Amino acid sequence: MAKFRTDCIEKPIRMCFRIIGHFIGTHPWWFFIVPVIISTALGSGFYFLEDRTSNDIEEEFTPLEGPAKMERMFIQEYFPENESMFSSLRLNTDGTYACFIATSTTNILTVPHLEDILVLDSKVRNMTVEFEDELLQYVDICATVNGSCSSNAILNIIDYNASNVDLINLTFPTHISTSGRVSLRSTLGSVKINNSIVQSAKAIQFFYYLTEFNQSRSVIWLTEFIKLLSEESTNVSYSTSMSRQWEFDKVPKSIVPLFSITYTITMSFTIVSCLRLDNVRNKVWVATIGVFSTGLAVLSSFGMLLLMGVPFVMTVSTCPFLILGIGIDDMFIMISCWQKTNVHDSVVDRLADTYQDAAISISITTITDVLALYLGYSSPFRSVQTFCLYAGTAILFCYIYNIIFLGAFLALNGQRETSNRHWFTCVKIPVDCPPGKSRSYAICCVGGAYDHDTGTEEEQPISGFFGKYYGPFLTQKWTKASVVVLYAGYLAVSFYGCFELKEGIDLRNLASDDSYISKYYQDKNTHFSYYGPNVMVAVNKSLAYWEEDQRKTLSSCITDFKKLAYADKNFFLSWLDSFQVFANDLDINSENTFKINLLHFLEKRPMTWQDIHFDADNKIRSSRFFLQTLNISTTKQQKDMLISLRKTAEKCPIKLVVYHPSFIYLDQYTVIVDNTIQTIVVATVLMLAISLLLIPNPLCSLWVAFSIGSVIVGVVGFMALWDVSLDSISMINLIICIGFSVNFSAHVSYAFVSSTKADSNEKAVDALTHLGFPIVQGAVSTLLGVVALSFSESYIFRTFFKLIFLVITFGLVHGVAFLPVFLTFVGMCRNG
């Protein structure tokens, strides 16, 4: 078992890369110029960027085939909205509206507060906007009931007179007035009651619903509403049905300045990392071209996909930050391998040797990154699909350009080194300082030194640190014991965090922190979170309602709904219950009498017409009821509510459909965990298979798989402790996590197996000597590539930074600490 190897694929790949390196080294200018021309051509796709941009929140952040979307189609087909009899309860979408919440630290239901609110209400209703040379007010575009604008119930109760509030005993959650029963659940917040009589309320919410007949007019009015409310006091928060989308559309623009900061920081780090005191061996230009190569990769990949008509979504905006770090990581590996070649060999042979040594390392990382991302395309979220497609393609281009474009420049730079020319002036300079020359001359005008024992470039001080100090220190027995204890603590904290993980994206986080809707959602969550949505329960079949057995069966199902933990047992709006009360002394047990009496009932309650669908044969094809939910302020409660409602509907002998517009977004909770686990498991198995093929030792390949699982557990656990939920945004990063965790572990494992040393401790030290510094360089460059996102005002971009930070940090620690120690424990993991 100790001698078992799987290098039947590794060796041919290395030889293939050697041939490629030899060919590129022979024709460097062709391979340096052609990628620039190709990138310019493909970059023309950015012309279509504006047309391809797709940032629709529902389309990007909800499951593509979520059950709620099918349920909505059913509701829209059988219960279309009635323009002349508007009812917010019966909306099958969010509707078109503006709203505000006024708050008080004590009681909003006082005369002074209500007077201010009435003034604000008057401003809103009398606000004038211009549309196509026509002046419009709220009354011209409002949603109507019997020809009048739908109104806010509390204003009707007090008859638009603030003083009347002291004369009326408001009851909550339902107030009974001369005009009938009125629900105040969404109107008053943080209510204190005594025997159902309102004693105080800290918040009041007003809605202004608009007709959906002409959206262009509505958009102009809503825009003016935001402008008006922005000038009001800090005790008023506001939003509209379009605000969430509008604020989300602004987010990508907020990170544009961060690109220049990121590229400046990364370029500076890369140049400093590749800076050599030797004026010939200096790799400053290689570092510059390495960064430029990643830019070409982004330009080519994005441009190509835009030319192909692939939508560009907001999450893709983070790709360039990520690709920059990945591309530079491969560049560091290639430079490290170049420095190990013999300086006396021809440039062509040096490049061939470089490619042969770097082939497996950079190929494993690219294949695993790309496969992990392309697997992510199976996600039910469009935002994840599009990101994975763009990122995977960009990494593929990055890999290709590093091989042909950066490799070609390595050859050109090698030609300069062979001629012993200065890195900046390209003038030939002496290897040794001539007699009589000053020290400053030696610093500026001398170069070309190399290790005369090995014939390779002189070892960098930081590389010597890993070989002379860190490696031997890490392989000490007491150090290994400490690493094992540290790892046990890491796992313990990670597993604890996994059980604290929350699910789903909070829609308020799609806007920037300083957005006006943030305060609105905060007020809504503080004062109006007790009562949830009014859920429609629709009968999806023709039912003989006049048969008593059918009514009893339906009533039994309704009772099951009322028994649910998240159902308000005191509120269930049922046209059938009301009709049976209406027809208490009438015969409704035959089809004919049932329908005759039902028509009389509906004539007296015209709004109820919207809850019954008659087909062409005057049969009741479908009808609906309404269930009030409560106590669903957390994402877990929302998920449990949705699942329990659907399960209850499935248990009913009568086919039922449950729906509310918010279910479109709540559907994410039902798929995010299962889909994430499925993607991670499949990707990990594929990564293991690739490792087995490319790393010439099966046991070390298993250690790579172990590292993947260990890093993922750590990222999931710590992201929960860092207040990051499992949603489509973090799912993207967990997919990236798979590829990155392979990057670090594959480098170390491959170097360990390939080492010619006999002792396992020596193997670990040898692996760290050769790859310790490039791994650290790659990790730091990737972190620098995304660090600017930590200053973003958007939750999405900060989440991206947090998870990349965790992935890189844990991957680095596994690569330079945990894995080298664990590999020394396994005697079978040797180079046979």
Check whether 400 has a pLDDT greater than 60. yes
Which of 324-333, 561-570, 580-589 has maximum average pLDDT? Answer: 561-570
Pairing of strands 174-177, 180-183: antiparallel
Task: Please determine, for residue 412, whether its predicted confidence score (pLDDT) is greater than 60.
Answer: yes
Segment 199-210 mean pLDDT? 95
Residues 6+ apart with CB under 8 A from 247: 510, 511, 512, 515, 516, 517
The per-residue pLDDT for range 122-160, each reduced to its tens digit, is 999 999 998 887 888 999 999 998 888 988 989 989 999
Question: Quick check: 657 pLDDT over 90?
Answer: yes
Mean pLDDT, the chain, integer: 87
Q: What is the pLDDT of residue 828?
A: 43
Winning range, highest mean pLDDT, from 6-10, 536-540, 738-742: 536-540
- Report the pLDDT value the prediction gives residue 701, as an integer from 0 to 100: 74
> 211-227, pLDDT tens digit by residue?
987 788 899 999 999 99
Which has the minimum average pLDDT: 18-32, 183-197, 427-441? 427-441
Residue 508, pLDDT above cutoff 80? no
pLDDT attached to residue 827: 55
pTM: 0.85
Q: Looking at this protein, which amino acid is placed at residue 481?
A: A
Residue-level pLDDT at 212 = 80
Collapsing DSSP states into helix, strand and coil, what is residue 637? helix
Look at residue 552 in the predicted model and tell me its pLDDT.
Answer: 92
The pLDDT of residue 831 is above 50? no
* Residue 436 pLDDT level (bands cut at 50, 70, 90): low
Is the pLDDT confidence value at 490 over 90? yes
Give tens-digit pLDDT for 49-96: 988 988 888 888 889 889 999 999 999 999 998 888 899 999 999 999
Would you state the pLDDT for residue 643? 94
Q: Which residues contact 150 (CB under 8 A, 6 or more apart)?
A: 86, 88, 142, 143, 144, 209
Maximum Cα–Cα distance for the chain, whole Å?
Answer: 123
Q: What is the pLDDT at residue 262?
A: 78
Q: For residue 260, give every residue at least 6 positions away whose Cβ sits within 8 Å of its Cβ, in sequence order, or none.
A: none
Instruction: State the Cα–Cα distance between residues 139 and 148, nearest whole angstrom.
Output: 8
Residue 2's pLDDT band (boundaries 50, 70, 90)? very low
121 or 366, greater pLDDT = 121
Mean pLDDT is lowest, of 19-23, 41-45, 725-729, for: 725-729
Both tokens of 631, joined, read 């106590």
The residue-averaged pLDDT of 167-193 equals: 88
Whether the pLDDT of residue 461 is over 80: the answer is no
> How much of the chain, in percent, has pLDDT values that exceed 90?
44
CA distance 784 to 801: 10
Indicate if the pLDDT at residue 304 is higher than 90.
Answer: yes
- Whose CA is closest to 670, among 51, 22, 62, 49? 62
Res 4 pLDDT > 50: no
Cα 548 to Cα 184, 611, 651, 655: the distances in Å are 35, 20, 20, 18
DSSP type of residue 79: S
pLDDT category of residue 442 using cuts at 50, 70 and 90: low
Of the listed ranges 108-117, 260-269, 564-573, the least confidently predicted one is 260-269
CA distances (Å), 146 to each of 84, 90, 150, 177, 180, in order?
Answer: 6, 16, 9, 19, 16
User: pLDDT at residue 687 above 90?
Assistant: no
Dist CA 103 CA 75 (whole Å): 35
**Dist CA 818 CA 490 (whole Å):** 11
Q: Residues 752-808: pLDDT tens digits?
A: 877 778 788 888 888 888 878 878 877 888 888 788 888 888 888 888 889 889 988
Quote the crossing angle between the two packed helices 407-418 and 319-339, to the nearest 10°. Answer: 40
In this predicted structure, the answer to whether residue 272 has a pLDDT above a threshold of 80 is yes
